Amino acid sequence: MAVFKVSEGVVVKLNGETIAEVEELTVEALKGIAKKAGIKKFTAELGSIELTADDFPVTEGEVVIKPYYEAK
């Protein structure tokens, strides 16, 4: 017997608001979502863990985009 699991997908949030919902989130897709939201530099977290490029693709959960502001 084969048991299949349906992915619930990924919710992308910015400032507490859902800005995208996708089945699979890649680095390029995340950059595109951030760009559409007007964010040029950002970090991303899944739960409380900061994501790196090695963590993608993400197939489930809530990814939070946090704008990154450099000190001048």
Please name each of the domains of the chain with its CATH number.
9-67 (3.10.20.90)
Strand order in the sheet with 9-14: 17-22, 9-14, 60-67, 42-46, 49-50
Distance, in Å, from the CA atom of 24 to the CA atom of 9, rounded to the nearest integer, reads 6
* Full pLDDT tens readout for the chain, 72 residues: 887 666 689 999 999 999 999 999 999 999 999 999 999 999 999 999 999 999 999 999 999 999 998 887
pLDDT of the residue at 70:
82
pLDDT of the residue at 46:
96
pLDDT of the residue at 64:
97
Residue 25, CA atoms < 13 Å, CB-side half-sphere: 30
* N- to C-terminal Cα separation, the chain: 60
pLDDT of the residue at 71:
82
